[in-house]
Amino acid sequence: MININQLRAFYCVAKNMSFTKAAKELFITQPAVTAQVKHFEEWCELKFFKKKGRGICLTDEGEMLYTHARQLFELEARIENSINDYRQLKK
């Protein structure tokens, strides 16, 4: 079963193309983000990032996963917004 925290760490890194920026967004340390992504890659038996100069880029597998993860987390945000809208109506 997919670990949603690891998927979220992957998504934030891919979105920001930075482990450091992802850590700030997730309010955790950069080594924690790196470990989450590493464990996720090991579980999937795939590599999602490759080094490019001083930065990183997505592998083909990473691009595919990012597309799906983006859709998932956009849906999560829409669900949260809908719940908040209903809460406001009840007040």
pLDDT value of residue 90: 82
pTM for this predicted structure:
0.91
Q: How far apart are CA 47 and CA 69, in angstroms?
A: 16
Q: Find where tokens 């340390």 sit.
A: 29
Tokens of 40: 């996720």
Residues of the chain whose pLDDT is less than 50? Answer: none
